[in-house]
Amino acid sequence: MKIISFLRVFNDFEYLDKTLEGALNFPGDFYIIEGSWMSAQKAGASERSDEKTYNIINKYLKLDKKYKLIQANGENEFSHCQIAMDIAIQENADWLFLFDADEVHHTQEIEETLNYLKFYKDHDSIKEIRLNSYNFCNSFKKYYDGEYFRVFRPIGNPKFIQANHCSYESNYSYIVLPNTIRYYHYNYVKKNNPASFHLKMQFFDNENPNSQSLYKQGYKEENGIYTIPVEIKDFNLPHPKIMENHPYFIDNIYQDKDINFF
């Protein structure tokens, strides 16, 4: 079974080191697609990421030859996903796995996910697979449930129509892995780069003019505190062991109590 993984990143350094460290346990090549979208540049974004982001990228390029860098400035987020799909098709991969720059996959979750990918490898009608996540918000002890397309079958002529969703030429179906298999998504526990939040909000609104603005739906950020219009729950489980030496956990920036690791 051949899996090729891709991570899209632009100025998102806060958890990138741990995302790439966790990816060491993934099989196959791991491509880092770095760069802003043309639509983001219209809002003032530079073409290339900042020095902090590139220091982390270069660390892993030197650490393991599985990591490969692609500098891109596509029209939008979809086009960077399409770069990943086109490469996966060229490489005759069985599965394409997409990463965000702020998510951590731990060993047990990776093993269980790979078992499902092996099982469904020859089920050609299954083209996409959704994974569950703990999405943390303003605390490492608060989260909301996430469920996203992360795995795609690179066959035929699929086109990304959303950042995490493909359109295939023929009829197809998708599956959702059990919610006991979850990765850790540190998407709203950020202190240094709130501008990326607003760029994403503006991008969504620009690309979906017929949808209600995300700001109007209730998404907000002020001084590094996020308001997300979903049910926020208490999180009492341990975090992945590799997060133990992350500066935000060492400094306990949210004053959380009784954080454990596994």
Amino acid letter, residue 179: N
Residues shown for the chain: 262
Bridge partners of 6, per DSSP, are: 31, 98
- Whole-number pLDDT of residue 98: 97
CA 163 to centroid of chain Cα atoms: 10
Q: Name 209's Cβ contacts closer than 8 Å, sequence gap at least 6.
A: none
Per the structure block, which two tokens stand in for 227? 């308001």
User: pLDDT of 54-75, one tens digit each?
Assistant: 999 999 999 999 999 999 999 8
Q: What is the pLDDT of residues 198-254, one digit of tens each?
A: 666 665 666 666 566 677 788 888 888 999 999 999 999 999 999 999 999 999 999
Q: How far is CA 89 from CA 8, 32, 83, 120, in A?
A: 18, 17, 10, 18
pLDDT grade for 193, boundaries at 50, 70 and 90? low
Q: Please report, in angstroms and rounded to a whole number, the separation of the first and last CA atoms in the chain.
A: 28
Q: What confidence score (pLDDT) does residue 210 get?
A: 59
Contact between 151 and 131 under an 8 Å Cβ cutoff? The reply is yes
- pLDDT, position 103: 97
Neighbours of 193 (CB within 10 A): 18
Question: For all residues of the chain together, what is the average pLDDT?
Answer: 92
Note whether 118 and 1 are within 8 A (CB): yes
- Give tens-digit pLDDT for 105-151: 999 999 999 999 999 999 999 999 999 999 999 999 999 999 999 99
Retrieve residue 39's tokens: 């639509």
Give the separation between CA 2 and CA 130, rounded to whole angstroms: 19
CB 185 within 8 A of CB 98: no
Would you state the pLDDT for residue 147?
97
Q: What's residue 118's pLDDT? A: 98
> How many helices, marked H, and strands, marked E, lie in the chain?
8, 14
Comparing 37 with 86, the larger pLDDT belongs to 86
Cβ atoms of 190 and 14 closer than 8 Å: yes
Q: What is the pLDDT of residue 92?
A: 97
Q: Residue 92 — left, alpha, or beta (φ > 0 → left; ψ -120 to 50 → alpha)?
A: left
Confidence category of residue 188, pLDDT binned at 50, 70, 90: very high
% of the chain surpassing 70 pLDDT: 92
